[in-house]
Every structure is written in structure tokens, then in C-alpha cells.
Structure 1
């Protein structure tokens, strides 16, 4: 019996990790649906309007509306990479990510042109059938006209509004090319196009904002009673994607931040949220299968009482998000090139690190050079966590944000590198690995516990402009947490007896699952499932030996158990809060799961081709194959001396590949994990080889004469 327990301890503890991981998947209670508050909803769109266009002097009507209503930053994501005016209006009318502008888009969007046939009371769009067919072929499943089908009557004023108000067969119930006060109460839902604000010239933008504000003032003066007015900057007008204006004012929207289930972040909404918001306010059923967003609501959490301060905060978020994309791409590209060059430079040190047992055949590498290489490897492994911490300072507000970010990151990196290098200078071979892994995991965990402020619009986080994620743990953060939990757990497990190592790995991994998957923290249930698979593999291999068929089956059983538990729990969440796996399982019943699977597959392909982290993953694979796994590379010896490290690296690859595949980010999770893990592995290989031929000194020989005497 004792032998049986000893043999299957790793498998049983891997299963325990799976059971503990289910704690992370307990769904967050759905917010109660908003009570109907309005008889009329008026959505006013101004393409290109940003928060820095609104001032108390130039736009007094908008300023007052922001003071009395709920405000937020609007992500104008559509089915296009660049959302032009037509795409924004059509996405509003579809309640889903749609496309209107045909062909490629130059840096500047073409002028909006909508063919409209006007009749006595309404109008029709002759190209509507082509628009519907074009979006039917996309993987988002958008249906133009879904918003209009949700109400009995819709009024459109202006060409963009006609796109959003047209029914699937092209009919617009009420239409006017110009603003007409008498039409504001003709239907329960009215859409109004007030033109656009384009360019970067402050004078031109101010003039456009004043014209839109004057028109909005007349709308507010003539609005019917019990009406909700929504002002939205529905689109970009060039390749410089930004966050835009979103204000809702009226019954139910009398202050606070705008938020929605699709963002789970106070002060952030999407264009796809506007359609369900309008239907919910009018007490109309919201077609969840057609809409990608959720009805917006208000939250008073953290909004300044001074409207100027609130608007300034949203304008600052827009600036940070716009700068983050450029700086983030440059940072990742520089990091990938620097790490690959560093790995190549370390090859001669690896070849000469092991001291021969006999007479010296080559001069050993001077200790200062080896020490410098160790410091550089530690610094490389800390680069991504340092970039995350750098967002504690508002570098994006400075005149040269790129240089500002670089300076702050280097300062944080210098302090962290000195601390790790000093503490672990005379420690065991994997001490730096455990220390850096703990720092990386704790940095992300602290950010998640405090609201993910560092990841939101951060270089090492996610962009609200892109609209993929607004809260919780992002792709880079997930990679850091996986690497930190598994490598940190391995370093800690090595200090315990062989039989206790799987338990340590399972315990540390379970904590990571909770941080990643809890809807109150990381809110990435798919990532929690992926980490579960990695922890099961790592725990099964922590006692030594390779991943045998028996261990693999037990680890797979634990991972599948958690996945099944997740599927059941995830189906209890509102659809807009489900993970990619939950949405995929939920859509299998109505036959639309293929859209989600296709969307994930296409996203994987695009990310693989465009991400610099793909280069790091491929370079790491070649480096491990042709350098580290060679007889002089040290990786085999590292695995033999420290079995938990072998299990942790195996689990890291499994978890990151699974997470990237399921979440549509390809190798990005693995690339982020390797950016921290591989320099530490190389450093550990150097130290293991340096001590590979250490031998105990023999006792001094006693002369025979002394023995005879």
C-alpha cells in the first residue's frame, strides 16, 4: 500500500491541483438588469470626437451634459483594423463588429458616402443587401439592422444615422438629411449624425467641435420628456486609433462613470454596447445571440466631483492608449533582439564553463566576465516586469514619451537587477531563477489585486483602443504569471524532500489559478484552465523522471476535469462575461460555434505573423536544440540535478501554448513567459556547469615512516 501511494503521489497531487483550480472558476454574480427608465432614446454621433475636444468655453452644451450625465471612454473597435465613420455607424446598428468601408484604407478614411433613396416619410438604402452579405461572410456574425428590428419605429437624421437605422432589407422608417426638431419624438429611437471632427490641427478641431455643440444644444432643448440622450464619437477618421467620447444623460444616467459587461471597467464602453443600452432603456428585449456587447450602466466609483478633472482623466487615458501601442511595439522588438544577441554571446561561456577533471586544456573565463554575463541575463529576465512597473509614473505625458518610458524602465531594471544579483551572488544555481520568478509573479498579482491599473493601456499590458480586454490579466501578464508560478514553485519545491515536491508545485500552481481565473481578479478563465494543465504536468514530473504515459494520463485527467468544471460554471455567467471556451460551448447549441472557432483561428494566424514575440519563441527553440541540449550546453545536467525545474519548464510550454491557442494570441503568451524564463535557464546552466566537476578533496597522505613509528 505504501509503495502504491508513493508511486501515484504526483498524479494524485496533480489531480488535487485541478480540484483547487476550480475555486478560480466560481462565476461572478451577474449584475441585476437595469430597469426601464426612458420612453425615448436619442443617439447622437460625431465621428472622430475625442475628450480633448470638449472644453467649457468651446462646447458648453457637451460640458454641461458631461456634468449631469454618465461619461466614459469609447472604444470604436469594429470588424476593420481602422474604424472609419461608416464602419462605426454600421457597428452601432448591428450591435456587433461590422464593416462598411470596402477595400483597403489609406492613412485617412474616405469621406462617408451613403446612397439613400428618400420618399415621403422615410428612405431606403439600395446597397443594404450587399452590406448584409458582406458581413454575413465575416466570422463575427454581425447582422446589419439588428438594432432597428428591436423597436417598432426608428428615425434617422443624416447619412451615417441612416446606416445604423436601416432594417436588414434597407428600409429606414423616418429620415431627414438635416436636423429637424419635429422628428425627435416621432419614434422611440432616434439616431442623429452631426458630421465629423477630423485632423490634428487644434483650430480646425475646435471649429468642428463648436458646430457639433451648437447642434447638440438645439437637440437638448427640443428633446422629448423621459428621454435618454447618448453622445458618441463613433469612429476614427485615420490610422491613428484613439479613445473617443461617450456621454449618456437622462433618466438612469445622472452621474458617474459609464461601464458595461463587455469591459468590466468603470469609465470604458464599446460601440457595440450602445445598441443593447438603447434597447434596455426602452424595455425592449436584447438579442444576446446577435449583439456582442452589453447594456451600459453607471457607477459612481472613483469619479471626481469636478467635471473638469473627470474629463481630464479620460483625455489622459486616450493619450496613454495612443502612445502605448507605438512604444510597446518598439519595446518588444528591442527586447527580442537584445535577448537573442545575448544568448549568442553566452555560447562561448557555456562551452568553457565546465572545468576539466584533468590538466587544463584552455584558460578559464575570467570571473568578472562570467559575473557580467550573469548580471546581463538577470537584467534581461527582469525587463518585462520592469516595463510593467514603469507605468507607475505618467511617462506618456512627457514631451518625449518613448525616451521617458525607456528611462523609467532602465531605472527600475537597474534597482531590481542589483537586488537579485547581490542576494543570489553566492547562492545555489537556481536561486536567481526563483527570485526573478517570484518578482515577476508578485508584480502581476499585485497589479491584479489593485485593479490592473498598470496593465490597462500599459506597455506590458493591453490597449483599450484595440478592445480585446479592459480588465484583469492580459497576454503579457498571463505569461509572467505562468512563468512565475511554475518556476517559482520549482525553486521552492527543490528545497523539500522528494516526496513533498509535487504538493508544493500543486499548491503554488493552485494559487496562480485563482489569481488568473477568478472573475474578481484576473478574470481569465481560459488562462486558468491552461495553467491547470501546466501545473498537472509539472507536479507529475517534480519527483524526477520524464513524462511517462501514466503520468501524462493522470495529468490529462486532472486538466480535463477542471475544463469540464469550468464549462459548467462558465455557462452560468452572462454571455458577454464568458471566456472564449465558454462562448464556444454555449454557441454549439445554435450552430454558431463555427464563427468563434474561425475567429480564434484567424487571430492566431495574424498574431503569429505580426508579433515580435513569435521570433523570440522560434529563436528560443533553435537555441535550446542546438546549444542548451548539447553535451556542453548544461540543460540536461540542470534537469538531472533539479528535477522540479524540468517539470516546471515542461508545464510552462504546455500551459502557454494552450492559452495562446484558445485565446487567439498564438505564441504571445509563450513568448512573454520565455522572455523571463529563458535568460534564467541559461544562467542556471552556466552555474551548474561551473560546479559540474566539483569533487571532495582526498585526505592528506600519511608517510609510511610515520605509520611504522
Structure 2
């Protein structure tokens, strides 16, 4: 009965508090840009796409037209991730037009097979005008090849020529695009804007190949299309022979493919052949030509229209953040962000078109709504420097995150092997009898080494406080920031009375780490963003809230730290204080983690509720059984599903992935979502098996090296090779409860989160070194008084 009362109390508090906060969205989460300075809404929007363009390419001398737009409007970095690690121009345009991530395929004729066509980016082609099916040369391979090869990017100085009649056009074999995306798990709808134009009486004009890809419906048909070189005429009037002084005001939405910032058929999997350094002058010339092209388009755009320039895809490998600049009546000078990222200076590729048409009062059914927010700033140079620094940070983290992870894996392997050897009876006997001073030094230096190892994951987050992205060598800047972060955590461990014991030092850094993570998430997740163990905007898996690895570190730090502190309170006869401390920490943490406006962590919140409840039960001296664990898990899952339901009731543009997940479940996509999460776990195991191996190694270290097996008669025989050498780090029942609650929470995270295998692996990178430190530095006299019966 006491167990049921505790569980009911926790569920009642969390069920009342969490939903109440979940519906409250901070001002920085969603919204729209400030009202136009002139007080009038824009009459239309012109989107100019240029794959490969980055903010670092833009400068007052190199790109005067683009720089002028950046001075007068809002700028941001653009995450262009689609369904592959690097986004080709065709995939970028398709995803941009559908408002969802899409694959691209090669639609060139069968007889046209350029060199390395099977590995390079799909070559984009012109759609076939409906009125030109019998045009001269339609059956001539040479003429067709010339059509495939012609593009404005190859001739940047094309003069204004004869008006080109334009109108409907169609892509042949467009069903191949649909087939390629059928099993992607994303419900992309290529025809969504075309149908909106038909039903809502607003039209879309497309210029150039990429624009045609974006405007094509599910049958490959483009309502109004013309080559980019035809921008001297209005495509809606040219066929009727009418003259037009203003050619970009005929449709509310105008899409223009201005070319790419490099070769459009670059090799996505080449690490060195296609990048900024190797392209050199070629890319410099492309950027200059692109700016000139944008300048000519700006001359033909009415002042009443919004203008957006976006780097809709990559132009080299590896992928990087690209540029987006928005100017016009809807945008004041400042830094741009979108409702899906909630990060200043960051916009997602699939948000650009829904947000752009939303600013001029248009809506498109079937596209996930999005909105833009402008953070005002009058100093263009300062905000561009800050955005370029953010982009460099993202690129550096994207490049070195795998290296950092492998480094931690290797250190963990070495630690496990060292413990297995050093704790063998013959080795310990030799050290004790022949080199006692060496043994003492080994214990001291080994403890500090393990302690420092356990701080490295958290130091990766603390490094985000420093502006290392502005340094000339950001890679070395990141290394120095991690070193300083580690030093700061070491300083915390020796800054107070807790420095006298290893348990006190572990508790201090653990609770400080947990508090830092919770506060950061509540303030916008800036430390999670662009962290080596956080999330990266180039990967574009998450943009705000608590990531899987951050959640793992939080669960480990909070539960282990609270277990140690509670053990001291219980020993001092203050058990009630210990219970209130854990309960208060649990409520605040779960509110922050489970709030869709803050942590937005579905699986992590469930794991946190389970872990804190297990620790509370131990403080109430209630034994944790399998049945009770199942009841706790079911209650936690019910609470978080209720929060997701409340989030679903908010307007679509304001929902987090909590509400989106609830909507997918209502639409019958629950099994698809679960399958995608399982696939993500398997992908991690295949791509990074070193990380997956950490989990069984951690189990080995805890079970053997930390004497967990010898606590029970049935398993004591397995620990016989380490007889009389295993340190009783988990001797105190409350410290053991903290460890057990952390282990259970990490196990729940493994099962319920996407990429869940990273949760226990990351938690072990902090948990195991800290337990080793507690084992090496434990008070031997105090431990010897703990009998096996007392430990149970």
C-alpha cells in the first residue's frame, strides 16, 4: 500500500504540473516576423535558390548585391539535410518544394550517361514544354544533349534576349522520383503547391530547372515554367504577345533557380575531390557570377515583394550549413530563425517555402506549417560574423564528433582491461607485498585519471560557453574549450567541503552537471546545440531540447549524485530531507525535460520518471520488484502521452515533435515511426559498433570489477578469480539505490528512445569511471564493517 501511495503521489504531481507547463510556449519558441516597417503586407514572394551558397561566401566586395540584401534584411544559416548525408541540388529543390525531405533520381535520357553518373549528383534537366512535343530536334540526340547541358550557370552573362514563350511543362518519368521516395518514411507530396494554386486562386511561376523540380506535381507537371534566361519577359503574358515592364509580379509565388556555387554534378561521397579548397578559383567565379545573376533578378522584382535567397543544397562534401537571406516588407534587419528550429540564426530547408508564403498571407494544405521570427539587429557585419562563427562551429563539430566518440570508446576499453588485470588476485598480492608505495601511488593517480575521464563527456557541453568558433583554427579552439571545461569541473570538485572524500567529489560534479543541463534546456538548449555529444544542425535530427546523449548524462549525474547525497542525509538521521530533496529535484527535472517548449524529450522523460521513482521507493524502504517496475513504466508512459496529446491540441506551427508524434499515431503511422526508430538503432550499431560495445563492457566492469556479483550467493562464484580484491563501491544501500536507479533509467532509455543504444553507452562513459573512483578511494575500515547481509 505504501508503494501505491508513493506512485500515486508522483503521478499526481507530474500529471498536474507537466501538462500545465506543456501548453505554455515561451515567446522565443514560435511566432512571426515583425510587422513591415511601411505597415503594408508584401504582395508576393520571390525565392531565389542557389545550391552551395554559404554566408561565408558573402561580403561587401565579393558579392555586393547579396551583401546589400544582408544589410537590409534578415539572415540565417540554412540546414539542408534531406535523406542523405550530403544534399544534391535536385534533392534540395524537391525537398524545398514539397516541404518534406526527399530523395532525388537521375531523370536524364537513357542514352545520356555522363562520366561517373552512378556516383555523382543526379543531373537536373528541363521539363518538356507541353506545346513543344513536336518541336524541331525533339528526336535528335545531339539537340537533346544540348538541352541537357544548357544552364544559366554555364553562361552567367547571357544578355536579355528574345521573349521566350512559357507555360505548362512536364517531366518525363517523374514517377521514378515518387518510387524512390515511397519507402523513405517521410510523406512527401510534390504536388502540394500546384494544387494550392489551383484551389486558392494564387499561382506559382517557376524559372529554371531546380524551380521546375520544386513546382512539379505528383505527375511531373509544372503549371507555369520558363528557363532562367527568359527572365526578360513575363511567362504568363509572353505567349499572348503582351509587353510587361515588370516581369516578377504576375504570381504570388515565384521560384528561380539561379544556379549552383560549384559543379552541379559533384561527387557526394568524395571527401577530398569536391570541397572549397580543391575547387579554388572555379568556385570563386561561380559565386561572383551568382551575385551578378541575383542583381539582375533584383532589378526586376517589385518593391512590394519579399525576396529570399537560399542555398538549397550542398555543392561539396561533407555537408555544411548554407545561407538564407530574406528581405522585403515582411522582414526587418536582423537574425532569422524558424519555428521548427527555435534557434537564433538557424532555418531548416523544409521550412523556407511554408514560412515564406505564410508571411504574405498564403497557406498550402498538406504542408507542415512553419513561421519565421526575426531578432532585430542593425549591425549587419556583427550578425554576419556571428552567423559565420556558428556555421564554423557546426562544421567543426560535424567533422570531429565521431573522432571524439571513438576516443571515449577507446579510453573505456583501456579502463576495462586495466581493471580486469589490476584486480586479479596474483597482481594485487604482488603489488601489496613488493611495491606498497607503488600501489598507493597507483591508487591515487588512478583515481584522478578515472575521475578526469568521467568528466570528459560533460566537458563537451561546457565547452559551448566559450566562443571557440571565432578562432582562426576552430578545431584547436574546440580542443582547448573541452580542456577548459574539464578544468572547470575539476575545480568544482575541490571547491568546497565535499573535497575531503571521493564520494563527495563525485556527488558535487554530478549534481552540478545535472543542474547545468536542466538550466540550459530551460533557457534554450544552447549548450546542447553544436556540442560534440549534443546535436548538430548539419545532421538536422534535433534542433532544441535534450538530446539522447545529453539525457544519458543527465540521468547518470542526477541519480548517482542524489544517491550519494541522500546516503549522507540518511546516515545523519535526516531521511525525510533526503526524500524531499529527491522528490523536488525529480519534479523540476521532469517538468523541464517533458515540456514540449523546453526539453521536448519523450523517451528521456519516461526514463527520468522511472529512475527518480525507483530512487524514491528505496528511500521509503520499498523493495523494487519486476511488477512494480512495470507499473512505474506504464504510469510514466501514460503521463508523457498525455503531455503529447496536449501539445497536439496547439496550432500545428507551434507543436513540438511530441504533438507531431501524437498526430502520427492518430493517423495510423505509429508502426512506421517505431520501425524508423528501430532502424536508427541498428544503423548506429552498424556505423559505430565501437559505441555499442561500450554497453557490455560497462556491464562487465560493474558486475566484476565493482563487486556487484559477490553481493548475492547465486552469483558469488563467478567473481572467485577476483576474490578479496573487489572493492565494495556500492556498499551503502542508498548509494547502491542511486546506481541502480541510474542503470534502470538508462535501460529504459535504450528501449524507448530512437538511437537508444547511445543512451546506456553514453551514460556508462560517466557512470563507470565515477564508480571506479569511488571504489579506489573508499574508506576501507568503514567498508569492512559492511556484512553481506547488511548489503542486501
Alignment correspondent of 1:163:
213
Deviation at 1:135, TM superposition (A): 1.5
CA distance in 2, matches of 1:101, 1:653: 45
Deviation at 1:483, TM superposition (A): 1.5
1:25–1:525 Cα contact (<8 Å) kept? no
Alignment correspondent of 1:46:
50
Q: Deviations over 1:16-53 (max 9, x none)?
A: 66447626852234856779933322111001001111
Instruction: Map 1:93-132 to 2 at 5 A.
Output: 93-101=97-105, 109-110=120-121, 112-114=123-125, 116-120=127-131, 121-132=167-178
CA distance in 2, matches of 1:389, 1:33: 32
CA change 1:431–1:108 in 2 (3 A) is farther
Deviation at 1:148, TM superposition (A): 2.6
Alignment correspondent of 1:676:
766
Alignment correspondent of 2:258:
194
CA distance in 1, matches of 2:211, 2:554: 45
Alignment correspondent of 2:89:
85
Q: Secondary structure at the match of 1:151?
A: helix
2:393 is matched with which residue: 320, 334, 349? Answer: 320
Matched, 1:439 2:512: yes
Alignment correspondent of 1:207:
285
2:30–2:373 Cα contact (<8 Å) kept? no
1:534 is matched with which residue: 608, 611, 625? Answer: 611
Matched, 1:138 2:184: yes
1:70–1:257 Cα contact (<8 Å) kept? yes
TM-score of the superposition, structure 2-length normalised?
A: 0.79
Alignment correspondent of 2:450:
377
Deviation at 1:424, TM superposition (A): 7.8
Q: Deviations over 1:455-483 (max 9, x none)?
A: 32222322111112223333332222211
TM-score of the superposition, structure 1-length normalised?
A: 0.87
CA change 1:315–1:685 in 2 (3 A) is same
Question: Mind listing any 5+ residue stretches in structure 2 that lack a counterpart?
Answer: 108-115, 132-166, 235-247, 263-274, 711-718, 787-792
Matched, 1:250 2:328: yes
1:580–1:663 Cα contact (<8 Å) kept? no
1:178 is matched with which residue: 219, 225, 228? Answer: 228
Alignment correspondent of 1:613:
691
Alignment correspondent of 2:244:
none
CA distance in 2, matches of 1:353, 1:480: 36
Alignment correspondent of 2:373:
298
Deviation at 1:188, TM superposition (A): 2.1
Deviation at 1:436, TM superposition (A): 2.5
Q: Secondary structure at the match of 1:382?
A: helix
Q: Deviations over 1:598-653 (max 9, x none)?
A: 322222221232234323223212333444334367889444x3223333333323
1:660–1:666 Cα contact (<8 Å) kept? yes
Q: Secondary structure at the match of 2:532?
A: coil
Matched, 1:479 2:490: no
Q: Secondary structure at the match of 2:172?
A: coil
Q: Secondary structure at the match of 2:666?
A: coil
CA distance in 2, matches of 1:55, 1:426: 52
Alignment correspondent of 1:624:
702
Alignment correspondent of 1:233:
311
Q: Which moved more, 1:253-262 or 1:502-511?
A: 502-511
Deviation at 1:159, TM superposition (A): 0.9
Question: Mind listing any 5+ residue stretches in structure 1 that lack a counterpart?
Answer: 697-709
CA distance in 2, matches of 1:406, 1:563: 38
Q: Secondary structure at the match of 2:78?
A: strand
Instruction: Map 1:253-332 to 2 at 5 A.
Output: 253-287=331-365, 290-292=366-368, 294-300=369-375, 303=377, 305-332=378-405
CA change 1:136–1:676 in 2 (3 A) is same
CA distance in 2, matches of 1:115, 1:570: 43
1:18–1:561 Cα contact (<8 Å) kept? no
Alignment correspondent of 2:204:
154
Alignment correspondent of 1:22:
18
Q: Secondary structure at the match of 2:356?
A: helix
CA distance in 1, matches of 2:387, 2:628: 52
Instruction: Map 1:498-509 to 2 at 5 A.
Output: 500=576, 501-509=578-586
Alignment correspondent of 1:63:
67
Q: Deviations over 1:269-309 (max 9, x none)?
A: 1110022123313433333xx435x43323225x3x22122
Q: Deviations over 1:77-117 (max 9, x none)?
A: 112222100000000111101111469x9998436322521
Deviation at 1:382, TM superposition (A): 0.7
Q: Secondary structure at the match of 1:167?
A: coil
2:94–2:214 Cα contact (<8 Å) kept? yes
Q: Secondary structure at the match of 1:495?
A: helix
CA change 1:118–1:375 in 2 (3 A) is same
CA distance in 2, matches of 1:604, 1:578: 25
Q: Secondary structure at the match of 1:245?
A: strand
CA change 1:186–1:660 in 2 (3 A) is farther
Q: Which moved more, 1:18-27 or 1:455-464?
A: 18-27
CA change 1:426–1:174 in 2 (3 A) is closer
Q: Secondary structure at the match of 1:535?
A: helix
Q: Which moved more, 1:418-427 or 1:564-573?
A: 418-427
Instruction: Map 1:370-409 to 2 at 5 A.
Output: 370-398=443-471, 400-409=473-482
Q: Which moved more, 1:48-57 or 1:473-482?
A: 473-482
Deviation at 1:361, TM superposition (A): 8.3
Q: Deviations over 1:110-166 (max 9, x none)?
A: 363225212342211112222122212220111222233222332211111110011
CA change 1:157–1:647 in 2 (3 A) is same
1:70–1:298 Cα contact (<8 Å) kept? no
Q: Deviations over 1:162-197 (max 9, x none)?
A: 100111111111221233133323322211111111
Aligned length: 683
